Each structure stands twice: as C-alpha cells, then as structure tokens.
Amino acid sequence: MNRCAYLLALLVLSIPARGAETVLRVTTPLPPPEWALLERELIRASTAACDEFFARYFDERGFLLCVERWGGDDGPDDAIESCNDWPHLHALGAPDRILTLYKRAWEGHLRQFTAAKTTKVPFARDGMYFKEFPVMFDWQHNGEGLAVFNLQGLSDPRDANFAHRVKRFAGFYMNEDPGAPNYDPKHKIIRSLFNGSRGPLLRKATALDWAGDPIEVKDRFHLGHGERSYDEMLAHFEEYTDIVGDHPLNLLATTLPLNAYMLTHDSKYRQWLLEYVDAWAERMQANGGVIPSNIGLDGTIGGACDGKWYGGTYGWGFTVRVPQTGALNDRNRVPCGFIGFMNAYLLTGDDRYLEPWRKQSDVIDAQAKTVDGRMMTPRMYGKDGWYGYAPGPYRDNALELYYLSMKLRDRERLGPNPWLAYLEKKDPGYPVRALRAELSRVREAVAGMRDDSTTPDTRLADDPMRFNPASVTALIHLMEGGLHITRLASVLHCRLRYFDPVRRRAGIPEDVAALVEEITSDGVVVNLVNVNQLEGRNVVLQAGAYAEHQFVAIDNGDGNVALDSPTANVWLAPGAGTKLKIGMKRFVNAPTLAFPWDRASKP
C-alpha cells in the first residue's frame, strides 16, 4: 500500500470500527526504546528468513521436497511442522506473504500426503491422508501435524476451506462420519490410541504400523532417533503394541471441536468437548487422583491392559529399550493430555478443570525421596510402584496451570522461570536479552539452511525442521503476554492480541511495538510505541486470543477510562508511546475467531 492510499484508508478508519471504539489518543513523544526496535527487527528478519526457507525446501505446489514416508520417525506430520510458528508470526504482525506461504504449504501438504501411499502398512495403502486428515495415528503425531492448521483461524477465519475442514475434522470425533467411528458415546472414550479419518485401529499395533515401509538408511538418511538401519527402525517400535482403548493423548483431539465452536458457536462442539474432558476428570478422581493411561473398550480403567491403569503405549509404565545401545528409555506422554483441560478452561473459566492436575502433582510429590541430599520425585509408574525419579518437585504443566489460574499456590509449585521473573520486576533486562537471543537463532537457522547439503532424495520429512527460522517465543511472551505451546495441537493462550483496522487484518500494525510488563489475575500492563516518526498508527487491542476476556478499564496515566468491551482502539501519533494499565475480567466471553469489526461490541 503506497503512502497516499494508506493515509486515505487511515482517514476512513478514524471512524471507530464496530466493537473497537476509540478510547485513547496517544500524542506524547517517546524515543523508540531498544526493545521496540528489536521487536520490529525480529519480525522483519524472521519474515525474510521464512521466504528463503520456503524457496529452499518447498516447490511451487507447496510440496515439501523430501522422501515421502509414513511413520513415527519421519511421517506426514513432520513435513508440515517445517512451518511451525508461521501462523503465530503472521498473527503477531508479519507481512501477509507469511500467511500466503504457510497456506500454500498446508494446501500442498494435504495434496502431497493424500497422494502418497504405503506398500506394506495396511491402513495407508490408499493414501496416508483421507478426507484431508491422517488415516489413523496417535495424537502425539496427529497433534504435531495439525499445529499449523489449528492456528490458521488467528489470521484467516473466513477462509472457506478452513471452515469446511475444521467442522469435518471435529466430526471425525463426534460420530458424524460413519467411516470414522472413533468415539464411543456410551463410555465416553476415543476407542484407540490410533485414530483418524478411517476410524480407530482395534488390534495390537505392529512395528511396521509405526515405522512405515522398508527404506534404505545407511549412507542416505540420518534418522531422528539415531537408527542405522530399517531393522533398528522396527526395533525402536517393537514394544509399541498396546494401543487399543483410550489414552490421555487423545485429549489433544479436543482442539478440533474447540476451533469449530469458536468459528460457528454451534453448541454441539462445546457440549462434546466438555463431555469428553469431564469423563477424564472423573477417571482421575476414581484412580486416586492420577490420570490413568489406558481405558478399555468397556470404559474401565486399565481395561485393555489387564487392569493396569498405568499400561499402554506412551503410558505411565512405558519404558522401552533403545535398540542401538540397549539402554532403557522412559516415554511417558500422559502430561500432554492437559491440553484438553486447557481447552475446557478456555470455554468455561471453571477451576474444576485445573484442580485435578493440582491433585495429581500432590500425589506424585508425596512420593518424594532424598537422594544424595537432593529431593527427587517420580515420573513413571509400573508393577513395582513409582519410578523414574528426577530432581525437584513434579512440575509438568505447572507453567500452564499457573498462567490460567494466576493463583499464588500454583506459582509456588512452578519454581524459577526467566519470563515470570521479568513480569515480577526481578529482571528488567530480560526483554532485550530474549529478543537478541531470538535474532541470533534466526541467523543460526539461516546459516544452517545455507550449509545443508541434503537433496530431495536424501532428505526425510523432519530434516528441514531444525532450520525453520520463525522465532516467536519472545514475541508471544513480550507482546501478547502469552504462552508458546508447540507441537501439541494447542490454540493460543494470551492476554492481548492486536489488529490493524486500516489493513483489516490480524497483527500489530506496521511500525508499532508492544511490551507486556505485568500480568495479574485482573489486569495487564502494556507499553505501546509507534516507532514511525512521520505517520500515526491505529491499533485495536483485544482481550485474549479469542476475545474470551473483557476490558473493564484502561489508564495511560491521565486517568481511568471505563470500558465494557473485549476490544479497545488506541491511536498513536507519530513517534508517540504510552504505558497502559488495563483492567480485565478473564474468561467471561464465549471465545470467537471473528475479527473485532466482524462481530458486535459485546459478543
């Protein structure tokens, strides 16, 4: 957009957008702080690096240039993970070409792995994807493969394909597709660890199901788990057999109906999600406060694992042997299930979705013992009781738990955290250090990509991931006061989001920077600055990632302005900046994907 067009649009947009009334005009000059310049440079550098990354590893169709395989080592999920955090980057304010590129990659990904077929793995012989979704696999991998799609609604909720897909995908778990009977409504279970668009796998899994078709390894590929041959790939998954019945990993599937609800506000999606999470909460209570890792097809705890509540692949007792070394490795993925409870909390703000996980931490901490003068707590449970002791109290999901609750008792169980130390006024230099570290990461990723000597026929789907240059952790923390959760099919959890009312898009306007310096249970303090010394900028602030919060007051030092809206419009004069103290009520609105100007002021 040229300068004349921009100024004309700005004049038109000086009329407040529906749902975003102008509440503040900021005219006080503020020399651009170092953090503001670093934020803008990080967005610029990450964007340029993503451009180069896409040109290096994708073709014009959006296909990843790699050897296409099915499996837990290097399957379809790994291919689209090369674009992890690109939706975040755009939603923060990166140029629209980032949205264009990751949508091209996603569309290409669906076509590429629908066409890709196995020769030996039975359920993927007609395509690794069916109806644009994995045919059947576990939710550690399904979740990784959906991380990009699940965040598309932040920037592009009106995309017709997104709408069709999010409803279709949710339907696979709500028995709306007769070819995908994944859910048992009587027992409130997803019937297998392997599930998807062709339904659940109701037999023991084989190493072939997990490892995929035979492949040449020596002198060609470097596998992520260090396997040196296809035989070692099979051996890696030899013990991954017990997949029948429900598992906490399946709670990641709740993000699909959550997105469908936020798009349509059809109550059936909300009802299904809460029904399923409630069933797991009841199982935790019935199992002495610890979430079981297997629910049988009859709905009983441990019912598909000889009554062992800790049984099953990726369960509490899942310790396997590493084929290359013979060493034992603990692979408990149970804590990932907290994502489902976070989704329920986003819908309700009800503490009963957090309390079971506090109680579980208490149960585990009660097993503490002292070893060589250090407190140790377990991470695993088997036939002989608790094992897998690690230093310190049990802290899985502790950050997420505290972030949602903002309760002191949850902060106390978390321990040291650099970001929280900054928010607690203990480390004022954190923002600049964090942003500089992210810029270094961009440089290192690009250098690695340029030195990468692989060719498409010696490259597996997960190889480019380590060079993905999108660096957003510091931006999410500092700009949005949000959590950065990757590879777990999570939606965004944050205190503030930004929209550009001139360009009618998600993301902070060009030249604007934001720094959240304080978060409390009923408010947030954010610094806004316009680093452009010649032109003003208009920014819409939103309470929460999906307008789930409500602003009640805003103060820039000149007095309190009462509000009752999930959005606020701030005008920043050229070179102006301010600190805003914002009061809010949290989790009082139905979350929505709609942009501020596409909804009423009080949804």
For residue 575, give the CATH number of its domain. Answer: 2.60.40.1180
Q: Single out the residue of 449, 427, 544, 535 nearest to residue 491, CA to CA.
A: 544
> Is 471 inside a domain boundary?
no
Residue 252 makes CB contacts below 8 A (sequence gap 6+) with 139, 142, 143, 336, 337, 339, 340, 488, 489
Residue 22 pLDDT level (bands cut at 50, 70, 90): low
Average pLDDT over residues 214-226: 92
Cα dihedral sign for 322, 327, 332, 333?
A: negative
pLDDT of residue 266: 98
What are the structure tokens assigned to 107, written together?
């569309």
Residue 584 lies in a domain: yes
Looking at residues 220-239, what average pLDDT do you find? 93
Residue 262 lies in a domain: no
Please give the average per-residue pLDDT across 203-218, as a whole number: 97
pLDDT, tens only, 257-315: 999 999 999 999 999 999 999 999 999 999 999 999 999 999 999 999 999 999 999 99
Question: Is residue 557 a part of any domain in this protein?
Answer: yes
**pTM of the entire structure?**
0.95
pLDDT at 370: 96
What's the pLDDT score for residue 278?
98
Distance in angstroms (rounded) separating the CA atoms of residues 178 and 124: 19
pLDDT digits (tens, 9 = 90+) for 374-430: 999 999 999 999 999 999 999 999 999 999 999 999 999 999 999 999 999 999 999
- The DSSP-derived string for 203-217 is S---HHHHH-S----
* pLDDT over 90 (residue 21): no
Q: From residue 11, how far is each of 14, 308, 359, 502, 535 by CA, in Å?
A: 5, 67, 55, 9, 12
As for how many domains the chain has, the answer is 1
8 Å CB contact between 397 and 337: no
At 9, the pLDDT band (50, 70, 90 cuts) reads very low
* Res. 6: pLDDT tops 80: no
Kindly give the pairing relationship between strand 319-321 and strand 328-330. Answer: antiparallel
As a whole-number percent, the residues of the chain with pLDDT over 90 amount to 93
412 occurs within a structural domain? no
Q: What mean pLDDT value characterizes the chain?
A: 95
**pLDDT digits 0-9 by tens, 311-369:** 999 999 999 999 989 999 999 999 999 999 999 999 999 999 999 999 999 999 999 99
CA angle 89, 95, 101 (to 5 degrees): 75
Query: Domain range spanning residue 18?
Result: 3-30+495-598
10 Å Cβ neighbour count for 341?
27
Within 8 A by CB and 6+ apart from 172, the residues are: 133, 180, 182, 195, 196, 197, 256
Q: What is the pLDDT of residues 450-508, one digit of tens each?
A: 999 999 999 999 999 999 999 999 999 999 999 999 899 999 999 999 999 999 999 99
b/e for 181-202, b at 16 or more Cβ within 10 A?
ebbbeebbbbbbbbbbbbbbbe
Distance CA 482, CA 487 (A): 16
Would you say residue 597 has pLDDT above 80? yes
The verdict on residue 459 lying in a domain is no
Checking if the pLDDT of 19 tops 80, the result is no
Q: Is residue 315 part of a domain?
A: no
3-state secondary structure of 573: coil
- Residue 223 inside a domain? The answer is no
Longest distance between any two alpha carbons in the chain, whole Å:
74
Q: State pLDDT tens for residues 34-91.
A: 999 999 999 999 999 999 999 999 999 999 999 999 999 999 999 999 999 999 999 9
CB atoms within 10 A of CB 314: 22
Q: pLDDT band at residue 558, thresholds of 50, 70 and 90?
A: confident
Cite the beta strand spans of 48-180 per DSSP E: 129-130, 133-134
What sign results for the dihedral spanned by CA atoms 237, 239, 245, 246? Answer: negative
Helices and strands of the chain, counted as H and E runs: 18, 21
Tell me the mean pLDDT in the region 189-216: 98
Which two structure tokens, joined as six digits, stand for 445?
């990723």
Q: Determine the pLDDT at residue 559.
A: 81
Give the pLDDT of residue 600: 60
Average pLDDT of the residues in 2-8:
42
The closest alpha carbon to 375, from 391, 396, 364, belongs to 391
The residue among 516, 603, 526 whose CA lies nearest residue 572 is 526
